């Protein structure tokens, strides 16, 4: 299968597929005419990566998950630990975003607005 067909099937851009090929994540075979050809196994791997990326996994994590997915002797505990680590990171980012939201809400609440030059938001950002 050529890269354009693979892009449609996997919902990945051609640029992403080329990048994944260039970094050795999923490599298509180069045909005699220079085009990259992808087998169903590689298409499945790219779909798997697309799903991992949609869940916010890093490329490093995608590689680890793909390796585990392709290893029939894998240990499910390894997969679970990787997913749990990712979930813990997401929770931490959510906490940080909630903190930012609260700070910004406080600054906005303290700002009286209007035409006067004094602004609690600018004062708060300066401190």
Structure tokens at 12: 């990945």
Which residues fall within 8 angstroms of residue 12, CB to CB, at 6 or more apart? 6, 20, 46, 49, 50
Integer angstrom CA distances of residue 82 from 9, 57, 58, 78: 27, 10, 11, 6
Can you give the pLDDT of all 127 residues of the chain as single tens digits?
999 999 999 999 999 999 999 999 998 898 888 888 999 999 999 999 999 999 999 999 999 999 999 999 999 999 999 999 999 999 999 999 999 999 999 999 999 888 888 898 999 999 8
Quote the pLDDT of residue 36. Answer: 87
Q: What is residue 116's predicted lDDT score, i.e. its pLDDT?
A: 86
Distance (Å, whole) CA 26 – CA 115 = 59
Helices (H), 1-127: 3-10, 14-22, 40-54, 59-70, 76-110, 120-126
In the chain, what's the furthest Cα-to-Cα distance? 72
Mutual orientation of helices 3-10 and 14-22 as an angle, nearest 10°? Answer: 110
Residue 103: its pLDDT value, please?
Answer: 94
pLDDT tens for each residue of 25-38: 998 898 888 888 99
Residue 35: predicted pLDDT: 85
Q: What whole-number distance in Å separates Cα of residue 56 and Cα of residue 91?
A: 12
For position 102, what pLDDT does the model report?
Answer: 97
């Amino acid at each position: 299968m050529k890269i354009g067909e693979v892009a449609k099937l996997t919902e990945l851009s051609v640029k992403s597929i080329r990048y994944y090929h260039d970094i050795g994540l999923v490599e298509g075979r180069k045909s005699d005419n220079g085009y990259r050809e992808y087998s169903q196994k590689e298409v499945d791997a790219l779909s798997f990566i697309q799903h991992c990326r949609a869940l916010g996994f890093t490329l490093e994590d995608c590689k680890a998950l793909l390796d585990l997915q392709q290893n029939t002797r894998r240990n499910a505990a390894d997969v679970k630990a990787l997913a749990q680590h990712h979930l813990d990171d997401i929770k931490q980012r959510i906490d940080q975003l909630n903190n930012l939201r609260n700070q910004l809400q406080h600054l906005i609440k303290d700002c009286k607005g209007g035409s006067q030059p004094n602004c609690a938001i600018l004062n708060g950002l300066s401190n």
